Amino acid sequence: METKIISVVGEKGGIGKTTLNIILASDLFYAKGKKVVLLDLDDPQYSIYNKRQRELESLDEEERQSIELYPIEPVTVATLQDTIVKHYGRVDYIILDLPGSLNVEMVKGLLYVEHVFVPFDHDELEIDSTSHFYFTLKNNFLDNEERMLKSIHLFFNKYKLVKKSKFAVLRQQFLEADIPMMESVVKDKTIYKERYRNTLYPIPQHKELGEKDIKHFFKEVAQLTR
């Protein structure tokens, strides 16, 4: 089985990396039937791993027995390589959730990732740091034959329709700077941070019908990692 190693990463906290790694993993596994493993490298918080434990506790015994789950494993820089080797070739996707700074966890994690997706929103400082982050990744990982990284894609998270024209201007600026922007966006929606940031089921299809809805993001991720 061909395994792809992907990650929603960025240099800042609070921009949606963890949320989107979970939503992506749940969509790939529950909605698309892919084999997925989600590795939580956000040592020592392990927020995804702990979230899964809490979600399991909210089920009754019968539900817990019957539900099919993708594995979520907490890993450290010391166990990452062995964990990847253990799953490589046995799953369609290994998804890594990394911490939000260029620390040893992130750098070590980035040694294995093939496709990264970098979220950002319209805040101006964030844009400066995001393009700086992009070029750091490009120079050190993408343009380095010894690294695994094959592609980097930026996208808007917490996209607001009311700020459509502002986002459009930014998109243009990034394209002119030769920074690859995804077509699709992820909207700012409360359901993404509450109900549907869930490791036990995907976002229901009927919730996602609009032109800017997250199903387009899923589709584009699938295309870009093909």
Residue 204 binding partner per list ligand ADP, Mg ion, none, with a CB distance cut-off of 5 to 8 Å that depends on partner kind: none
Structure token pair of residue 94: 């290994």
C-alpha–C-alpha distance, residues 101 and 10, integer Å: 7
C-alpha–C-alpha distance, residues 220 and 212, integer Å: 12
What is the closest distance, in whole angstroms, from the C-beta atom of residue 159 to ligand ADP in the complex? 7
Choose the stretch contacting Mg ion; rule: CB under 5 A; options: 10-18, 83-91, 111-119, 176-184: 10-18
Partners of residue 154 on adjacent β-strands? 118, 181
Matching residue, tokens 């010391």: 78
Among 189, 207, 215, 216, binds ligand ADP (CB under 6 A): 189
C-alpha–C-alpha distance, residues 106 and 128, integer Å: 20
Which residue, 14 or 144, is less far from ligand ADP as judged by CB? 14
Residues in region 133-162 near ligand ADP by CB under 6 A: 157-158
Residue 18 near Mg ion by CB under 5 A: yes
What is the closest distance, in whole angstroms, from the C-beta atom of residue 222 to Mg ion in the complex? 23
Choose the stretch contacting Mg ion; rule: CB under 5 A; options: 12-20, 50-58, 129-137, 150-158: 12-20
CA atoms within 13 A on the CB side of 84: 21
**Residue at shortest CB range from Mg ion:** 18
Structure token pair of residue 6: 């992907």
Which residue, 5 or 170, is less far from Mg ion as judged by CB? 5
Per the CB < 8 A criterion, the answer to whether 162 and 155 are in contact is no
Matching residue, tokens 């930014």: 170
Where does this chain bind ligand ADP (CB under 6 A)? 13-19, 100, 157-158, 186, 188-189, 192-193
